[in-house]
C-alpha cells in the first residue's frame, strides 16, 4: 500500500490523534507499515512544552515561524519514513488552513507520495470539554498547571486556531470528514486515493466506549487428547467451564454473544442462557491436512511442515488450510462489526482467533500474534483505554 500521507485536519481537542492512532493500529494489524508523525511532539522537542497560548496566535510572527519549523521538521521525518519503506504516514497536525494543506500536497507530490485528509469536526461542547479534560490536561504542555487554568488556556489556544480555520472543501481533492465523533461521515475521493479498507474502518468507528469480552470454548475432547482442529464436543471439564462462564456473566450483562460455528464454542456459549449467533469468521484456524493430528504426529509424519511452521508461524499455511495471516484477513470484517457495536459483546472462539483479535485490540506486533498466551478457561476483558484497549484476565477454573 502507499506511499500515502493521511493529513489529519481539525481544531485542537477534536480527537485527531485518537483517530489517527486507531487507523494506524488497524493498518499495522493488517501488515501495512503505518506510523503517526505528530507535529505537537516535534514542537515540544524544538521549543519546549510550556508555550503560552499566544504562541498559537496567527498574528504572532515568531509563533508562526516556529510552528512552520515544527511542521517542516515533522515532514522531514515522514519523508525519511517513506525512504525506509514506509507505506502510510499519518501527518498528525491541525492542518486547518488551505495554504498549510497545499504545502503538504506540494511536498508530497514532489516526492511521489499521494495525500488524503481526514477531518474531525465537532461543535458539541460536551465532547470538546471531555476531550480537553481527558487528554490535554495530561499533555506535557500543562504539567504542574491547575486543571481549570489549563482548560482556560487550551480554550484560548482553540480560539486562535478558530480565527483562521478553513474546513475541507473544493480545493481538497481526497478527504473524509467525521462529524461529532461518528454522527456523520462524509467522503469525497473522486480519484480513489484513500484505500477502501480505511474508509470502511472510519465509517464503522463508534465513539461509544464499551468492554469487549473474549474467551476460548471450554476444554474439548480433542483438547484432552492434544489433537488439532476437529469438531469434538466439550469434555466434562469444559462443561464445568461453560457453567462457570454463565455464572460469571450473570452480574455482567452483555448485549450480544457471538460464537464460532464449531460444537465446542456453541456448547460453551449456550451455557450463558441468552441467544448467541454462530459466526463462521470465528471458527478456529483451518489446519488443513493436519486437522485431527497431534503436534507429535505432525512432527513425526510431516517434519518439513512442522519445521516450516516453527520458522514462520505467522506466514505458514497448513496444506489445504490457513495461516495466521489468512486468519487475520478473515477477521477483518469481524473487527469492523465489533467497532460498530455499542454495547458490551462476548465472543466465544478459539486460540488462533483470539490471538489474532488481541493483536488488533492490544496493538501486538504481527510476528508476536501467533505466540500470545491464550489459555483455556480464562475470560479476557478488553477495556477501552486511550485510543486502544487494555486487557484484564479472569481465570475461572483453577482446577484445570
Residues 66-105 close enough to bind ligand SIN by CB under 6 A? 67, 93-94
d(CA 331, CA 311): 24
Residues with Cβ within 8 Å of 237's Cβ and at least 6 positions away in sequence, in order, are 218, 219, 377, 397, 399, 400
Q: How far is the CB of 284 from ligand SIN (least distance, A)?
A: 46
Residue among 119, 172, 217, 377 flagged as catalytic: 217
Q: How far is the CB of 84 from ligand SIN (least distance, A)?
A: 24
Residues 41-60 close enough to bind ligand SIN by CB under 6 A? 43
When the beta carbons of 43 and 264 are compared against ligand SIN, the nearer one is 43
Q: How far is the CB of 147 from ligand SIN (least distance, A)?
A: 19
Q: How far is the CB of 103 from ligand SIN (least distance, A)?
A: 12
When the beta carbons of 155 and 243 are compared against ligand SIN, the nearer one is 155
When the beta carbons of 94 and 114 are compared against ligand SIN, the nearer one is 94
Residues with Cβ within 8 Å of 290's Cβ and at least 6 positions away in sequence, in order, are 228, 229, 298, 302, 305, 318, 319, 321
Q: Does 32 sit behind a cis peptide bond, omega within 30 degrees of 0 on the bond before it?
A: no
Q: Of 114, 86, 103, 122, whose CA–CA distance to 174 is shortest?
A: 114
Q: How far is the CB of 40 from ligand SIN (least distance, A)?
A: 3
Residue among 141, 284, 322, 339 flagged as catalytic: 284
Instruction: Please indicate whether residue 284 is annotated as part of the active site.
Output: yes
Contact track, ligand SIN, 4-43, x by CB under 6 A: -----------------------------------xx--x
CA distances, 399 to each of 227, 241, 242, 253, 377 (Å):
21, 10, 14, 26, 10
Asked whether the CA dihedral 259, 198, 176, 15 is positive or negative, the reply is: positive
Instruction: Please indicate whether residue 92 is annotated as part of the active site.
Output: yes
d(CA 348, CA 357): 12
d(CA 245, CA 343): 19
Instruction: Please indicate whether residue 217 is annotated as part of the active site.
Output: yes
Question: Within its chain, how far is the Cα of 33 from the centroid?
Answer: 14
Contact track, ligand SIN, 158-187, x by CB under 6 A: ------------------------------
When the beta carbons of 43 and 276 are compared against ligand SIN, the nearer one is 43
Question: Within its chain, how far is the Cα of 361 from the centroid?
Answer: 6
Residue among 108, 119, 122, 290 flagged as catalytic: 122
- Strands 88-92, 4-9: pairing kind: parallel
Instruction: Please indicate whether residue 122 is annotated as part of the active site.
Output: yes
When the beta carbons of 25 and 157 are compared against ligand SIN, the nearer one is 157
By rule CB under 6 A, what count of residues binds ligand SIN? 6
CB 107, CB 7: distance < 8 Å: no
When the beta carbons of 8 and 334 are compared against ligand SIN, the nearer one is 8
Q: How far is the CB of 41 from ligand SIN (least distance, A)?
A: 8
Footprint of ligand SIN (CB under 6 A): 39-40, 43, 67, 93-94
Residues designated as active site: 92, 122, 217, 284
Amino acid at each position: 500500500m502507499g506511499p500515502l500521507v493521511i493529513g489529519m485536519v481539525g481544531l485542537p481537542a477534536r480527537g485527531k490523534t485518537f483517530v489517527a492512532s486507531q487507523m494506524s493500529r488497524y493498518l499495522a494489524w493488517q501488515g501495512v507499515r503505518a506510523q503517526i508523525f505528530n507535529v505537537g511532539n516535534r514542537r515540544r522537542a524544538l521549543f519546549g512544552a510550556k508555550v503560552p497560548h499566544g504562541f498559537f496566535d496567527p498574528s504572532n510572527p515568531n509563533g508562526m515561524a516556529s510552528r512552520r519549523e515544527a511542521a517542516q521538521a515533522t515532514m522531514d521525518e515522514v519523508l525519511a519514513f517513506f525512504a525506509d519503506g514506509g507505506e502510510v504516514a499519518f501527518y498528525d497536525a491541525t492542518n486547518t488552513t488551505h495554504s498549510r494543506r497545499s504545502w503538504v500536497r506540494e511536498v508530497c507530490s514532489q516526492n511521489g507520495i499521494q495525500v488524503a485528509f481526514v477531518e474531525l469536526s465537532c461543535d458539541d461542547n460536551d465532547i470538546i470539554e471531555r476531550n480537553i479534560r481527558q487528554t490535554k490536561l495530561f499533555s506535557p504542555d500543562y504539567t504542574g498547571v491547575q486543571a481549570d487554568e489549563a482548560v482556560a488556556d487550551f480554550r484560548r489556544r482553540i480560539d486562535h486556531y478558530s480565527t483562521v480555520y478553513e474546513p475541507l472543501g473544493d480545493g481538497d481533492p481526497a478527504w473524509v470528514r467525521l462529524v461529532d465523533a461518528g454522527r456523520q461521515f462524509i467522503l469525497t475521493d473522486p480519484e480513489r486515493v484513500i484505500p477502501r479498507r480505511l474508509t470502511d474502518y472510519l465509517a464503522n468507528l463508534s465513539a461509544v466506549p464499551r468492554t469487549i469480552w473474549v474467551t476460548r470454548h471450554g476444554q474439548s475432547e480433542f483438547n484432552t487428547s492434544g489433537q488439532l482442529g476437529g469438531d469434538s464436543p466439550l469434555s466434562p471439564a469444559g462443561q464445568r467451564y461453560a457453567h462457570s462462564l454463565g455464572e460469571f456473566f450473570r452480574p455482567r450483562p452483555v448485549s450480544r454473544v457471538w460464537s464460532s460455528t464449531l460444537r465446542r464454542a456453541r456448547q460453551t456459549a449456550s451455557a450463558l442462557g441468552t441467544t448467541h449467533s454462530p459466526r463462521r469468521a470465528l471458527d478456529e484456524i483451518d489446519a488443513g491436512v493436519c486437522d485431527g493430528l497431534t503436534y507429535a504426529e505432525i512432527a513425526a509424519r510431516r517434519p518439513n511442515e512442522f519445521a516450516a511452521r516453527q520458522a514462520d508461524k505467522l506466514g505458514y499455511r497448513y496444506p489445504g488450510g490457513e495461516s495466521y495471516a489468512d486468519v487475520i484477513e478473515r477477521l477483518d470484517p469481524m473487527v469492523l462489526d465489533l467497532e460498530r457495536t455499542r454495547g458490551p459483546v462476548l465472543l466465544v472462539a478459539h486460540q488462533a482467533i483470539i490471538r489474532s483479535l488481541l493483536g488488533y485490540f492490544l496493538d501486538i506486533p504481527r510476528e508476536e500474534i501467533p505466540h500470545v498466551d491464550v489459555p483455556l478457561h480464562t475470560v479476557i476483558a478488553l477495556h477501552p483505554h486511550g485510543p486502544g484497549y487494555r486487557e484484564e484476565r479472569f481465570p475461572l477454573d483453577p482446577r484445570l
